[in-house]
Structure 1
């Protein structure tokens, strides 16, 4: 098999203006630390804790945002380096103990070959609508991880916009419905200035992600639905506030996390693979 080659230079316009503006609002950190967003955070954390090698190990957190996951990884004893294209995120993450930060694009990583035990892409694939760019980002992760090392990537599921729109009620607005329905066909969520809820994004069909891993040279190992059906339940915030119910919700979601017929129900999906030894 032909090995993926390192990118020689950053792609032009590495972050679209509307995506940068969305994340410069500074809301991403709080989104995962309060309300229903905690389900995504805790489930991502528990899946990663099962998949990652024991600390200490070198982790490259690509598109790691404000460091919401880098923080607990460093606290768990991992050597964490975070790469992100958003200046505000770099400022926020630089304040975290044990986390090194540097600017960069997932498609042209500022990283040496085979330098890390784990490469995480817990956001970059959200905003790469073209398959070639997603494969390029995964190929860069393949290059940066050591032989036998782990790569985990997060994707937004194809039907997340539909489910979210029905739950929050904005699907009943004609302009929102038109954009949502269009994304169901090709996964392309288009930016609209009058829509503050999200920005330019790609909603992936769970079945296509393993093929992108394979094309990038990675051996696909598994997929994990992050929120299951729980994120669509009206009482989930209150359940998460109650320690006993929270554990029940997490356990229930864990039981169905890799059930093929339910992978597309989650808002987010984690896909894991390895660089072959």
Structure 2
């Protein structure tokens, strides 16, 4: 995890800015939509892989008690600064890996976000450890949202972001099959990509009941330049697209082909 930790320490400020751009706002708002739809109306939330606290701050504004956990101290420092500047107070800030949940009491949280750790854990046993520990500390009836990077959506995005990968035509099949691990030299840091089918199986194997899942970018996935141009030249139309993309994020015809997959689950 050292490479991942170093990456987020170095890119902490950029991580705060990332969800501000017109395209990433779809990811951010669709995730908030799922939180509003499925989380309990009040209670204690643990934000695992909180980064600089975008979702934690939104949850605090809604009246939740929130604790943040991230392996990057720089990310947590930004989170604390932003939360304090906004006039809110989080319960705790834990500088830990998602693999270090054993210190939390059983059934102590009403809701849990796991919005980044699964992007970076190469070994299935490590991902299962995070999922099972999160289940242990989740209250009966509590909900968890688990994010994965989706190879089917990444394949679509690759045309813009990394087409050189597909000089080797066999790479297309790799993305269709999923379960891909990349080193820090091959990706933005050590990363893990998988398919919706495999991610859902993994969550169920850990003992959860899957309630639903959504594609964070919805039907706009891969169309970032078009959406960003729309935000500049036709802002009212841009807002309409974002509104409907958020509303449609769980529709099966869109959710399997987005870069980020959000699975909503509870204890089986």
Q: TM-score range by the shorter chain?
A: 0.7 to 0.9
Question: Which residue of structure 1 aligns with residue 57 of structure 2?
Answer: 71
Correspondence 1:118 to 2:111: yes
d(CA) in 2 for partners of 1:239 and 1:187?
A: 35
Which of residues 161, 166, 172 is equivalent to 2:159? Answer: 166
Give the 3 Å change call, closer, same or farther, for CA 44–176 of structure 1 in structure 2.
farther
Question: Which residue of structure 2 aligns with residue 10 of structure 1?
Answer: none
TM-score with structure 1 length normalisation? 0.83
Which of residues 190, 196, 199 is equivalent to 1:209? Answer: 199
Structure 2 portions without partners, runs of 5+: none
Question: Which residue of structure 2 aligns with residue 24 of structure 1?
Answer: 9
d(CA) in 1 for partners of 2:77 and 2:57?
A: 14
How many aligned residue pairs are there?
Answer: 257
Give the 3 Å change call, closer, same or farther, for CA 35–249 of structure 1 in structure 2.
closer
Which of residues 21, 30, 36 is equivalent to 1:49? Answer: 36
Which of residues 123, 145, 157 is equivalent to 1:152? Answer: 145
Aligned to 2:129, what secondary structure does the other structure show? helix
Q: Deviations over 1:123-181 (max 9, x none)?
A: 1111112222112111111011111111110111112332222124x313678988787
Give the 3 Å change call, closer, same or farther, for CA 262–20 of structure 1 in structure 2.
same
Q: Is the 2:56–2:66 contact (alpha carbons within 8 Å) kept by the matching residues of 1?
A: yes
Q: Is the 2:154–2:258 contact (alpha carbons within 8 Å) kept by the matching residues of 1?
A: no
Give the 3 Å change call, closer, same or farther, for CA 240–131 of structure 1 in structure 2.
farther
Q: What value does the CA root-mean-square deviation take over the aligned residues?
A: 2.4
Correspondence 1:89 to 2:75: yes
Greater shift in the superposed pair: 29-38 or 143-152: 29-38
Question: Which residue of structure 2 aligns with residue 222 of structure 1?
Answer: 212
Aligned to 1:265, what secondary structure does the other structure show? coil
Aligned to 1:154, what secondary structure does the other structure show? strand
TM-score with structure 2 length normalisation? 0.86
d(CA) in 1 for partners of 2:111 and 2:63?
A: 14
User: Once the 2 structures are TM-superposed, how far is the Cα of residue 228 of structure 1 from its aligned partner?
Assistant: 1.8
d(CA) in 1 for partners of 2:15 and 2:129?
A: 25
d(CA) in 2 for partners of 1:113 and 1:237?
A: 44
User: Once the 2 structures are TM-superposed, how far is the Cα of residue 220 of structure 1 from its aligned partner?
Assistant: 1.2
1:222-261 correspondence to structure 2 within 5 Å: 222-233=212-223, 234-240=225-231, 243-254=235-246, 256-261=248-253
d(CA) in 1 for partners of 2:259 and 2:3?
A: 22
Give the 3 Å change call, closer, same or farther, for CA 61–45 of structure 1 in structure 2.
same
Structure having the higher helix fraction is: 2
Structure 1 portions without partners, runs of 5+: 1-14
Give the 3 Å change call, closer, same or farther, for CA 199–192 of structure 1 in structure 2.
closer
